[in-house]
């Protein structure tokens, strides 16, 4: 499961505790999934948009990348520590403390909104998506990155089956239809909260907010990630990321 900083007030204490773990392991070029896949896709999808809101910006790595290609970017995050780091790292974006369920942004003020691996950690899904729809201009784009809800469920993972002859290797799915709220040990003594929801829950919430799905991508993991797990020959066939491009209809 790809990890992103949580943008939900109920989780702030845990993320403050583990901020350095996340910064060291997932920012400033050290994580191949961000460097080779997520950031390039965000840049491509959002090129040319003048005003962009980055919901749950964390240390600002998405905000910086978009700002450096000419957009006016505002990053929103509820934790002062991460806003401080984002401002120190520069790059041209602006940052504000704020909640995903009460964005400190005017109605219909943004040409685009991006949320990268954040909504899996937000309790109030529907209000947060409604906020995205509220701040988008008519015709605006929502770029929505998620850990793949089907293939990254709790309990999923590689299985080496040596009972059959010849042995088989396959990806086990977790209990996909059951919504769960769990603390996962992502590293020794580092516990991160994840909320699993079926894809239909996201799609219906987006539809109810009036956002129209234009494109869905399920990219194979990038080469840098695959190089870290050469023992899994079929890793390139199991997407870890889901990307949805949505549009607020023009009035």
Lowest mean pLDDT among 23-27, 61-65, 118-122, 213-217: 23-27
Q: Residue 144's beta-bridge partner residues?
A: 115, 244
Query: Per the domain annotation, does 56 fall within a domain?
Result: yes
Q: What is the largest CA-CA distance in the chain?
A: 62
Q: Which helix (H) or strand (E) holds 94?
A: strand 94-97
- Range of 18-27, 59-68, 82-91, 163-172 with top mean pLDDT: 59-68
**pLDDT tens, 200-221?**
999 999 999 999 999 999 999 9
CA dist 81 and 76 (Å) reads 12
- Whether 147 contacts 37, CB under 8 Å: no
Query: Per the domain annotation, does 234 fall within a domain?
Result: yes
Query: Per the domain annotation, does 46 fall within a domain?
Result: yes
Residue 183 has pLDDT above 90, yes or no: no
Query: What local confidence, expressed as pLDDT, does residue 3 receive?
Result: 37
- Whether 83 contacts 7, CB under 8 Å: no
- Domain of 96, in residue numbers: 9-247
Q: How confident is the model at residue 16 (pLDDT cuts 50, 70, 90)?
A: low
Query: Per the domain annotation, does 98 fall within a domain?
Result: yes
Residue 161: CATH number of its domain: 3.40.50.150
Query: Per the domain annotation, does 4 fall within a domain?
Result: no
CA triple 188-238-63, angle to 5 deg: 70
CA dist 251 and 239 (Å) reads 36
- Whether 54 contacts 98, CB under 8 Å: no
CA dist 74 and 93 (Å) reads 6
CA dist 134 and 103 (Å) reads 9
pTM across the whole model: 0.90
Query: What local confidence, expressed as pLDDT, does residue 170 receive?
Result: 81
Domain count, the chain: 1
Query: Per the domain annotation, does 186 fall within a domain?
Result: yes
Inter-CA distances, 3 with 58, 87, 194, 233, Å: 11, 21, 10, 23
Query: Per the domain annotation, does 3 fall within a domain?
Result: no
């Amino acid at each position: 499961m790809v990890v992103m900083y949580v943008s939900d007030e109920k989780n702030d204490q845990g993320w403050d505790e583990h901020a350095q773990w996340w910064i060291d392991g997932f920012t400033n070029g050290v994580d191949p999934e961000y460097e080779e896949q997520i950031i390039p896709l965000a840049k491509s999808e959002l090129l040319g948009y003048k005003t962009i809101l980055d919901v749950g910006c964390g240390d600002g790595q998405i905000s910086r990348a978009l700002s450096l290609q000419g957009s006016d970017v505002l990053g929103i995050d509820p934790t002062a520590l991460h806003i401080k780091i984002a401002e120190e790292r520069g790059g041209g974006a602006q940052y504000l403390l704020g909640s995903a369920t009460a964005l400190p942004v005017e109605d219909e003020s943004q040409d685009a909104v991006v949320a990268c691996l954040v909504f899996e950690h937000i309790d109030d899904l529907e209000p947060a998506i409604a906020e995205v729809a509220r701040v988008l201009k008519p015709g605006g784009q929502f770029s929505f990155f998620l850990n793949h809800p089907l293939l990254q469920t709790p309990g999923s993972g590689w299985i080496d089956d040596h009972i059959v002859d010849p042995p088989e290797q396959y990806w086990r799915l977790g209990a996909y239809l059951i919504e769960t709220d769990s603390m996962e040990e992502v590293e020794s003594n580092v516990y991160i909260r994840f909320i699993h929801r079926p894809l239909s829950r996201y799609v219906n919430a987006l539809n109810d907010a009036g956002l129209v799905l234009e494109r869905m991508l399920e990219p194979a993991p990038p080469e840098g990630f695959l190089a870290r797990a050469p023992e899994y020959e079929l890793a390139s066939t199991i997407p870890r990321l889901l990307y949805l491009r949505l549009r607020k209809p023009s009035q």
